[in-house]
């Protein structure tokens, strides 16, 4: 019987990275004379990586964005973000205790994120969480990324798990759509980065704190999905 696996999204799920993503986004937007984005506006932009955040910020200000400028701003964003890791980012309340619970229960654990892999590995390392994860897969690890379900199923395979004994935990429609397309139960946290309540995207379950996430709950979700 393969070890069950729990796969976590990163930004807005395991780690509150909003303050640093916002700082780096505004650092890059300032280089093209766009107005700074505020915390509220920012939530509409996250979920698909830095390139899409920049694109959405321009669209929100009705500013054109040619490819060369997009590339220039993405480089500014990534250089600034990479240099500042871990910055102000912190794991959400209850995350470490939850990772300990699943580790003690013999679960495999992995991260499936649309953040670049190198920055994801660096951030997780800087926060002292590397030892929990058998795989950390970013938007550039494979030739596909969330909401493509293969990003999730290949992360599971890389970690040595079985998609039939897996649960996904995420904060956005992207995560929920990815898991549902893979036929994998998905727990949505309601404290992440989405401008609509996650229940609208019909996850398997919504939680408001990591204390609710237990191996018993995961086992029930895996059994019910079979």
Ligand X SMILES: O=C(O)COP(=O)(O)O
Query: In whole angstroms, how close is the CB of 213 to ligand X at the nearest point?
Result: 17
Specify the long-range contacts of residues 126-131, CB closer than 8 Å, at least 24 apart.
126/85, 126/86, 127/15, 127/86, 127/89, 127/90, 127/91, 129/14, 129/91, 129/96, 129/99
Residue 11 interacts with ligand X (CB under 6 A): yes or no: yes
The listed partner (ligand X, Mg ion, none) that binds 49, CB under 5 to 8 Å by sort, is ligand X
Active-site residue identified among 9, 16, 175, 177:
9
| 80: number of Cβ within 10 Å | 18
Instruction: Rule CB under 5 A: choose which of 20, 154, 171, 177 binds Mg ion.
Output: 171
Residue 46 interacts with ligand X (CB under 6 A): yes or no: yes
User: Of the two residues 52 and 105, which places its CB atom closer to ligand X in the complex?
Assistant: 52
Residue 177 interacts with Mg ion (CB under 5 A): yes or no: no
| Distance of alpha carbon 117 from alpha carbon 167, whole angstroms | 21
Q: Is 16 a catalytic residue?
A: no
What burial class does residue 112 get, using C-beta atoms within 10 Å of its C-beta: 0-12 exposed, 13-18 middle, 19+ buried? Answer: buried
Query: Which residues is 187 bridged to in the sheet?
Result: 169, 205
User: Of the two residues 165 and 172, which places its CB atom closer to ligand X in the complex?
Assistant: 172
**Residues involved in catalysis:** 9
* Binding residues for ligand X (CB under 6 A): 9-12, 46-49, 113-115, 172
């Amino acid at each position: 019987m393969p070890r069950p696996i729990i796969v976590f999204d990163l930004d807005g799920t395991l780690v509150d990275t909003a303050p640093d993503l916002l700082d780096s986004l505004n650092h890059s937007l300032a280089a093209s004379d766009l107005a700074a984005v505020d915390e509220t506006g920012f939530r509409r932009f996250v979920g698909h990586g830095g390139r899409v955040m920049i694109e959405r910020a321009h669209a929100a200000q009705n500013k054109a964005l040619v490819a060369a400028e997009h590339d220039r701003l993405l480089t500014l964003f990534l250089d600034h973000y990479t240099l500042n890791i871990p910055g102000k980012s912190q794991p959400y309340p209850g995350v470490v205790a939850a990772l300990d619970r699943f580790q003690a229960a013999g679960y495999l654990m992995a991260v499936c994120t649309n953040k670049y892999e190198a920055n994801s590995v660096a951030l997780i390392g800087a926060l002292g969480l590397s030892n929990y994860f058998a795989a950390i897969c970013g938007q550039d690890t494979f030739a596909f990324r969330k909401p493509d379900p293969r990003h999730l199923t290949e992360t599971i395979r890389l970690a040595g798990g079985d998609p039939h004994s897996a649960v996904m935990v995420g904060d956005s429609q992207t995560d929920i759509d990815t898991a549902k397309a893979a036929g994998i139960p998905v727990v949505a946290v309601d404290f992440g980065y989405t401008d609509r309540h996650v229940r609208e995207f019909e996850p398997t379950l919504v939680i408001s704190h990591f204390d609710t996430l237990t191996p018993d709950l995961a086992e029930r979700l895996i059994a019910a999905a079979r």
